[in-house]
Amino acid sequence: MTSKTVATRPFDGQKPGTSGLRKKVGVFQQPHYLANFVQSIFDALGGVVGRTLVLGGDGRFYNREAVQIILKMAAANGVARVLVGQGGVLSTPAASCVIRKHRASGGIVLSASHNPGGPDGDFGIKYNIDNGGPAPEKVTEAIYARTREITEYRIADVPDLELDIIGSRTFAGMQVDVIDPVADYAELMQSLFDFGAIRAWFAAGHRMCFDAMHAVSGPYAVRLLEQILHAPRGTVINGTPLPDFGGGHPDPNPAYATELIARMQGDDAPDLGAASDGDADRNMIVGRGLVVSPSDSLAILAANADRIPAYAGGLKGVARSMPTSCAVDAVARQLGIPVYETPTGWKFFGNLLDAGRVTLCGEESYGTGSDHVREKDGVWAVLFWLNLLAVTGKSASDIVTEHWQRFGRHYYSRHDFEGIATERADALMAALRARLADLPGQTLQGQRVVHADDFAYTDPIDGSVSGKQGVRVVFEGGSRVVYRLSGTGTEGATLRVYLERYEADPARHALPTQDALADLIAISRGLADIAGHTGLTEPTVVT
Ligand code: G6P
Ligand code: ZN
């Protein structure tokens, strides 16, 4: 094998965020930029000689080029075997599934998730460990430390590998298995859900619409829904993955999945609507004329898990990220199981899942998942809902409203203020933090503050501490306003304001969400002086 050692110098800013390193495509296209980061991963792991790795991405612009570079570097660094998805493609949950099933020592996932793609869009890379989940902070910190001192990387000097033909081959002295990106994942899904019941539901004439948003969930949804479950052709819309997602924003929320939302209005709307993001780990569930809030979806899955084959034995516990609403807490109380509150970022669920403390977890950012893999899983969530509809015979809207009657409703919304200069966003958060100690006991617009803090998390398994994870202000009755800065953006800063209000009275469950939260919205703007710090009087995105 011919490989070479290339001299290089550190790039600034190769610090992984909430979910890996994300930058504009142009940044990644700079000579050595990707290679530096990949070598830093290998070095931070103490070398990768003899290891088996999984490799794939969401198919966005630069995915193919990046896969070739990584394969050549893996070979030059002594990796024994790489399992790579055909065409360089693997959804994030499928990568997690493949790592676990084939007992790989880890994997590299190429994605910027829900961020737009294309030559002017975003690209991303992250490392997943042997449990199939995102590397914990101590690993990402070691990778970052390495990026700051790197002086050289190793890469095989060979032509590109043929990526489109499934099969095993030798590449620069390393075994590469080009695998069907869907097969292992589809097999896992069939072991979890009642495919017979779902097939019968479709056969009885029920319909659903799955919006793949021209992202990587397309092939997974087509295989599972249309081919294996015999849903009518056309059930999956925008099902062909495109390197720029058709110019769209592949984020499954009401603001971006507009085609789906339009289809779910009216009397002839399908029974269930769903959408997934760039790398297929997020999901949005839509009933007729009703968008299910992700926090509610998690609570509903938890409350009904005993109807699903894989979870019929009961849940060990549940977990949610701190800004996610407390709807699942109400379910956990009734089930008598623990609920864990973690910082934002799926990686924080890994230890809890590995230790068998929790079975289901979820986040307000349209992420839901279980212990079947170590990533959130969009298609899994859709199959869970389908299974639920099939065995209950109920509509999605009925399931939601009955859930509220039983547990009360947690009105919930997130207001994002995007494109803020980083210093201004930091100043806003600093000013907020400075006020925290004085807030308890104060009354804001008629609401008394009972608790205010900057969320810190001590991992119950390994004792690691993560501080400054978001400012939360809790009012009497459990209403909350939470502020944090996004860790996934690539341009400036995004302030996220999370608003939540609990309503026990079923007579007050049908209010428009923004109306139900109006007082909290006003408090949130004033308390942080959002307009003063950012110049923005209204959020740029409301979900
Ligand atoms: C990614 C992570 C999630 C996280 C989300 C929002 O999707 O996998 O775990 O909730 O980003 O992160 P942000 O820092 O942008 O709010
Ligand atoms: Zn994603």
Residues assigned a catalytic role: 113
Q: Is the domain of 112 the same as that of 259?
A: no
Ligand 1 midpoint to CA 360 (Å)? 17
| Cα torsion through 245, 367, 285, 242, rounded to 10 | 10
- Ligand 1 pocket test target in 58, 251, 363 with most atoms within 8 Å of CB: 363
Determine how β-strand 272-276 pairs with β-strand 208-211.
parallel
| Spatial separation of the C-alpha atoms in residues 249 and 33, rounded to whole Å | 25
Q: Which atom of ligand 1 is nearest to the CA of 347?
A: 9
Distances (CA, A) of 480 to 23, 205, 281, 292, 338: 32, 42, 27, 20, 21
Ligand 1 atom 4, closest CA: 345
Q: How far is the CA of 414 from the centre of ligand 1 (A)?
A: 13
Compute φ and ψ for 252, nearest 5 degrees: -80, 80
Q: Is 344 in the pocket of ligand 1 (CB under 6 A)?
A: yes
- Ligand nearest to C-alpha 349: 1
Burial class, 149, CB count within 10 angstroms (exposed 0-12 / middle 13-18 / buried 19+): exposed
> How does pLDDT run across 467-488, given as a tens digit for each residue?
999 999 999 999 999 999 998 8
Boundary residue ending a domain (180, 196, 226)? 180
By CB neighbour count within 10 A (0-12 exposed, 13-18 middle, 19+ buried), where does 513 fall?
A: middle
Q: Exposed, middle or buried: residue 394 (CB in 10 Å: 0-12, 13-18, 19+)?
A: middle
How large is the average pLDDT for residues 216-244? 97
The residue type at 396: A
What pLDDT digit, counting tens, does each position of 167-209 carry?
Answer: 999 999 999 999 999 999 999 999 999 999 999 999 999 999 9
Using a 6 Å cutoff on CB, does residue 346 contact ligand 1? yes
Ligand that comes closest to the CA of residue 367: 1
| Burial degree of 234 (CB within 10 A; 0-12, 13-18, 19+) | exposed
pLDDT for residue 34: 98
pLDDT of the residue at 267: 85
CATH of the domain at 361: 3.40.120.10
**Same domain, yes or no, for 89 and 109?**
yes
Q: What is the whole-number distance in angstroms between the Cα of residue 491 and the centre of ligand 2?
A: 18
Same domain, 27 and 158: yes
Pair 522, 511 in one domain: yes
Render pLDDT for 428-479 as a digit per residue (tens, 0 to 9).
999 999 999 999 999 999 999 999 999 999 999 999 999 999 999 999 999 9
Token digits of residue 108: 């590299």
Question: Which positions ≥6 away from 222 have C-beta within 8 Å?
Answer: 236, 239
pLDDT at 17: 84
Distance (angstroms) between ligand 2 centre and the Cα of 86 equals 20
Strand partners, 61: none
Q: What is the DSSP string of 86-119?
A: EEEE--HHHHHHHHHHTT-SEEEEE--TTS--ST
* Distance (Å) of CA 455 to CA 342, 415, 465, 483, 523: 9, 19, 11, 10, 20
pLDDT score for 489: 76
Q: Average of pLDDT values for 305-334?
A: 98
DSSP string covering 499-531, please?
Answer: EEEEE--GGGSSS-HHHHTHHHHHHHHHHTTHH
For ligand 1, atom 3, which residue shows the shortest CA distance?
345
User: How many other β-carbons are positioned within 10 Å of the β-carbon of residue 196?
Assistant: 10
Q: Is 19 in the pocket of ligand 1 (CB under 6 A)?
A: yes
**Protein residue with least CA distance to atom 6, ligand 1:** 365
Count structural domains, the chain: 3
User: Which ligand 1 atom lies nearest to the CA of residue 494?
Assistant: 15
Q: Is the CB of 342 under 6 A from ligand 1?
A: no
Could you report the predicted ipTM of this complex, rounded to two decimals?
Answer: 0.96
Token pair listed for 219: 């092939």
The answer to whether 22 and 76 have CB atoms below 8 angstroms apart is no
| 3-state SS class at 470 | coil
CB within 5 A of ion ligand 2: which residues?
A: 113, 277, 279, 281-282
Q: What is the pLDDT of residues 368-378, one digit of tens each?
A: 999 999 999 99
CATH code for position 447: 3.30.310.50
Question: What strands, in cross-sheet order, belong to the sheet with 471-475?
Answer: 443-444, 447-454, 471-475, 480-485, 493-503, 409-420, 541-542
Q: How high is the pLDDT of residue 314? A: 96
Please tell me whether residues 131 and 141 are part of one structural domain.
Answer: yes
Residue 500 to residue 411: CA distance in whole angstroms: 6
Q: Is 375 close to ligand 1, i.e. is its CB under 6 Å away?
A: no
Average pLDDT across the chain, whole number = 96
Same domain? 351 vs 475: no
CA–CA dist 283, 215 (Å, integer):
12
Span 237-251, mean pLDDT?
94
534 and 425 inside one domain: yes
Indicate whether 344 and 453 sit together in one domain. no
The predicted structure's pLDDT at residue 1: 65
DSSP per residue over 392-418, as a string?
H---HHHHHHHHHHHH-EEEEEEEEEE
- Of 407, 440, 467, the one marking the end of a domain is 407
- What atom of ligand 1 comes closest to residue 18's alpha carbon? 14
Please give the Cα distance from 368 to 360 (Å, whole number).
8
The ligand minimizing its distance to the Cα of 368 is: 1
Answer yes or no: do 386 and 470 share one domain.
Answer: no
Range of the domain at 26: 3-180
Q: Please tell me whether residues 495 and 432 are part of one structural domain.
A: yes
Asked whether residue 15 falls in the same domain as residue 153, the answer is: yes
What amino acid is encoded at 283 in this protein? N
- Whether residues 137 and 65 share a domain: the answer is yes
- DSSP output for 288-317: TTEEEPHHHHHHHHHHHGGGSGGGTT--S-
Nearest CA residue ID for atom 9, ligand 1: 345
- Nearest-atom index, ligand 1, CA of 375: 8
**Dihedral (Cα; 75, 80, 83, 87), 10-degree rounding:** 20
Nearest ligand atom owner, CA of 112: 2
Cβ pair 114, 278 in contact under 8 A: yes
Longest distance between any two alpha carbons in the chain, whole Å: 73
Ligand index nearest the alpha carbon of residue 91: 2
Asked if residues 287 and 317 have their Cβ atoms less than 8 Å apart, the reply is: no
Strands, DSSP E only, in 96-225?
106-110, 122-128, 152-156, 167-171, 174-179, 208-211
Atom of ligand 1 nearest to the CA of 363: 10
**Which residue, 407, 438, 453, sits at the end of a domain?**
407
Query: How far apart are the CA of 56 and the centre of ligand 2, in A?
Result: 14
pLDDT score for 236: 98
- Measured in Å, residue 198 CA sits from the centre of ligand 2 at 26
Decide: 348 in ligand 1 pocket, CB within 6 A.
no
Cα–Cα distance, 304 to 193 (Å, whole number): 13
- Between the CA of 57 and the centroid of ligand 1 the distance, in Å, is 17
Question: Atom of ligand 1 at shortest distance to CA of 487?
Answer: 14
Which of 251, 283, 344 is the pocket-test mutation for ligand 1 (most atoms within 8 Å of CB)? 344
CA angle 282, 313, 403 (to 5 degrees): 55
CA distances from 324 to 208, 214, 519 (A): 27, 27, 19
pLDDT digits (tens, 9 = 90+) for 100-150: 999 999 999 999 999 999 999 999 999 999 999 999 889 999 999 999 999
Q: How far apart are CA 447 and CA 518, in angstroms?
A: 12
Ligand 1 pocket residue status of 363, Cβ below 6 Å: yes
CB 27 within 8 A of CB 33: yes
Assess whether the C-beta atom of 496 lies below 6 angstroms from ligand 1: yes
Tokens 């699942």, located at residue: 328
Q: Does any ligand 1 atom lie closer than 6 A to the CB of residue 351?
A: no
Ligand 1 atom nearest residue 345's Cα: 9
